[in-house]
Structure 1
């Protein structure tokens, strides 16, 4: 019989299926081991030796579980203890995970110490705890919280602001609303840092941070990024029909109220500064599609452009180039007496913004 016609050995197909199944199972074990290591790293004991020891023990248990899989037809009795121990450890970690609860009562960092409160009566909105810090550097600042009143009938514009601090794919997303009198108010979903804590993208996967929605003056929340932190900041005028501005604005107030009543964890992928903007926008425009750029926030402005949400008549590259605010932002001194000087400066040359708006 020619070699090409020799039939496969009995059971050869089942052998490959068995190897594939074991490969998938070992991959799942390694993924669970990595997840558990991250959970211990970000939620475990504060003492580094104990925390690192627990991580090491858990990883060894995962390796032992992989080694105990029946790659060779060994006795089930010999491999069962390692697999049972790993499953039991996973159950403990899951119970720990689900027991983690967000809180409103921690020693918060100064810039997220307060949550704003909104009272809406018709067109009149009173906001308490609007942040207006004066930032000289990231650690040198003068705290200031204010009560402000806004007239929703004077709401005239909205701008998308993206601030990049770690490459082109990661950015912080803010939305700034403008009023006919020249005042502006920015909403920003942020991690609610505890005192001395700093942001960690990995920590955001492991319930390390609560969320807070901040309402702030542009001279505070945008300037601290363009000037104090040295991030790359881009501003785009949103192409929104006038009738959508009010529900968008009220959507941020509703989200803040929700977080005050029911605190929630920040999640780096699923519940962050960009997804909250999409969530609110989708209440106004229900047919907005899902897109990978909702996860890669650095490309969110391009997503908005593709949905017709930025000023028409320009390419995205043109809007991005003319929306880069840093050179203009750094020309305004931190102690400028005119509170609107920063806001006017960063909008000069931005498509869709009329000269009359810059004169207010």
Structure 2
């Protein structure tokens, strides 16, 4: 009987901690007086309830106390269940618009393709474009990993190449409001909606390598032409789904890496789950083990040759339309023309 009390007490502590974080991250920018009161009452109620169980304290009103806690937990879960994602917020400039695809046979028109000119993270010139693509000209796909938090965590992007020299890169990101900044913990607690960005490579890739100083690696994907189309259209279907129905970003289950895995499973349903889906800095190695990267090279060789930072910075001395070609110089399997 005593072990049951201990387990229940520990569960109450965990639930209380989760509730505190949920309340904290769901507060508006300025923490309200009511929010402080709710958070304090919830924390105190959970701590006292757990104390009476873990230390076998014979509280006179233990049942009433636990009953009050369970009622509070039920109300908290009801509140949590009713938190809804929205498209109607004061969005930051770089996520202000949603990608809108139009598909007519082999012709694709994309509205709201991002092509910002980034000088620093905070100094930029906004630019949103409408671009057209011929799916018959789709010839390549590259996996791009940008390391922003040590060797184990990276942002995952996929860039598609067309025979006419165009490159289009996709990135699933948080859709932050103007006052917000990224929080990995907040991503567990419905702090952010998600957005699928389609952009010029000088926007999404150069921003990370040059403006932010992240370490960026590019790997050519070994994907047959028919699977390239499936993967590309999968991104467009995801974009349209998010445009019509907003959804929350989740740091663990719905992020920049899991979207690649989910779309890849449409092509190869049997690919296994792996810890490297969570430790996204190792995602390229996972792709290598699945045979999705260029063969006849070791993973270490592909990683070394795929490091683009020096070339990305050197590209600033060339015509900006030459960026995609320059960053691929020496990358096994990669081939791109100058963007027209």
Band the TM-score falls in, shorter-chain normalisation: over 0.9
Describe how 1:52-201 pairs up with structure 2 within 5 A.
52-69=36-53, 71-72=55-56, 74=58, 77-201=60-184
Change (3 A) 1:145 1:47: closer
Superposed displacement of residue 71, structure 1: 4.7
Shift of 1:20: 2.8
Question: Which residue does 2:325 correspond to in 1?
Answer: 344
Partner of 2:22 in structure 1? Answer: 39
Q: Distance in 2 between matches of 1:260 and 1:156?
A: 27
Corresponding residue for 2:242?
259
Q: Structure 2 CA distance, aligned partners of 1:58 and 1:33? A: 7
**What SS does the corresponding residue of 2:9 show, helix, strand or coil?**
helix
How many residues align structurally? Answer: 338
What is the CA distance between 1:333 and its match in structure 2?
A: 1.7
Q: Distance in 1 between matches of 2:166 and 2:28?
A: 46
Tell me the CA shift for residue 196 of structure 1.
2.3
Superposition TM-score, scaled by structure 2 size = 0.95
Equivalent position of 2:5 in the other structure = 22
Contact kept, 8 Å, 1:322 with 1:350, in 2: the verdict is yes
Q: TM-score, normalised by structure 1?
A: 0.90
User: RMSD in angstroms over aligned alpha carbons?
Assistant: 1.8
CA distance in 1, matches of 2:225, 2:296: 19
Unaligned stretches of 5+ residues in structure 2: none
Shift of 1:168: 1.5
Contact 2:192 / 2:249 at 8 angstroms: preserved in 1?
yes
Cα deviation for residue 74 of structure 1 reads: 3.2
Q: CA deviation at 1:84?
A: 1.6
- Cross-structure match for 1:228: 211
Ranges in structure 1 where 5+ consecutive residues have no aligned partner: 1-17
Find the aligned partners of 1:41 and 1:307 in 2 and give their Cα distance.
Answer: 41
Provide Cα deviations, 1:80-108, integer angstroms capped at 9, x if missing partner: 12212221221121111111000011111
Deviation at 1:305, TM superposition (A): 0.8
